[in-house]
Amino acid sequence: LQQRRGLRLSAPAAIQVTVRDALNQALDEELERDERVFLLGEEVAQYDGAYKISRGLWKKYGDKRVIDTPISEMGFAGIAVGAAMAGLRPVCEFMTFNFSMQAIDQVINSAAKTCYMSAGSISVPIVFRGPNGASAGVAAQHSQCFAAWYGHCPGLKVVSPWSSEDAKGLLKSSIRDDNPVVMLESELLYGVPFEMSEQAQSKDFVIPIGKAKIERPGTHVTLVAHSRPVGHCLEAATVLSKEGVECEVINLRTIRPMDIETVEASVVKTNHLVTVEGGWPQFGVGAEICARIMEGPAFNYLDAPAVRVTGADVPMPYAKLLEDNSIPQVKDIVFAVKKALNI
């Protein structure tokens, strides 16, 4: 009727959604969509989750679908892996991925290798998810990035979201995947609002695992990052653009399988590469990207050596000043770009 009267109808606008709420939406939609999906972990049910990711889900779905566990990562990860082998689709939350070291035998030896060792006859559709990398003021035993750890292992898929759309789309894809997926979130991003498009608000919205996204096009240098450092790269790109340097910022989204083709195409265009990550330098995600570029066709297009920006090669200090100097900052990315461009 409004259209007949000549009134202009606008499409629903994009909305601001925090990463926390995006993850909650994804869990809610997948629990509703598939009765085989269930969530388990410490405090995920009656307390609504340590980070409120599972807020309201226990009241909606009950004890059989949202399950509080004892403080025993090896125990409840093992239960989840067994449930996946038996045909369910568990989402296993670690309060932090630092605690996943208690269950790493279950993640690697039980979940990741079973499909191969059974000649494809047993699939393990499980998602291990929770906060990864540095938070704020939690020191050495709670501030490690596990992207390189789990990205090293065949049989796993590893995703690492930045924005709310990343978080929702990747979690839904991970739950629907027939393989074990490790989803590395950032605690410091949980409360950050991002614009969510109309498409991303749909219950059918998924993001393919293994596909990176160009967050900002540019011509002078390629910046590649995942998780929280993507935001730092975009901030650095804004600073550098005022000096005439246009950075192409790539959000990896997936650590394994890695979308090296998107990185290669960008390097062919910009002729320079800088990788950024919160993890340690040795055997890191940036090291893998640099090696893949060196071994592939894009190497001949590089006009300068690739540069890595990483966390400091030390256990995370507790003191804030030292912590800030152990995590890549915008100024470190700007410095690395200028080094790569020799300016």
Domain for residue 10, yes or no?
A: no
Residue 3 has pLDDT above 50, yes or no: no
**219 and 332 belong to one structural domain:** yes
Per-residue confidence (pLDDT) for residue 1, from 0 to 100? 42
Three-state DSSP class for residue 282: coil
The pLDDT value recorded for residue 10 is 52
Query: The domain that contains 283 carries what CATH number?
Result: 3.40.50.920
Look at residue 13 in the predicted model and tell me its pLDDT: 78
Same domain, yes or no: 33 and 156: yes
Residues 24, 164: one domain? yes
145, 178, 201 - which closes a domain: 201
Nearest alpha carbon to residue 148 among 291, 280, 309: 280
**3-state secondary structure at position 60:** helix
* Domain with 291 in it: 213-341
Decide if pLDDT at 307 tops 50: yes
CA-based radius of gyration for the chain: 21
Instruction: Judge whether 206 lies within some domain.
Output: no
Residues 228 and 181 both lie in one domain: no
Tell me the pLDDT tens digit for each residue of 32-71: 999 999 999 999 999 999 999 999 999 999 999 999 999 9
Q: What is the mean pLDDT of residues 112-139?
A: 96
Whole-structure pTM value: 0.93
Are the beta carbons of 127 and 181 closer than 8 angstroms?
yes
pLDDT in the model for residue 14: 86
Residues 262 and 163 grouped into a single domain = no
Question: What's the pLDDT at 201?
Answer: 93
Same structural domain, 244 and 177: no
Say if residues 105 and 136 touch (Cβ distance below 8 Å): no
Last residue of a domain, one of 150, 178, 201: 201
Number of domains in the chain: 2
- Positions annotated as catalytic residues are 73, 142
Do 175 and 257 lie in one domain? The reply is: no
Q: Are residues 126 and 83 in the same domain?
A: yes
Rounded Cα gap, residues 209 and 255, in angstroms: 9
pLDDT confidence bin for 8, thresholds 50/70/90:
very low
CATH of the domain at 196: 3.40.50.970
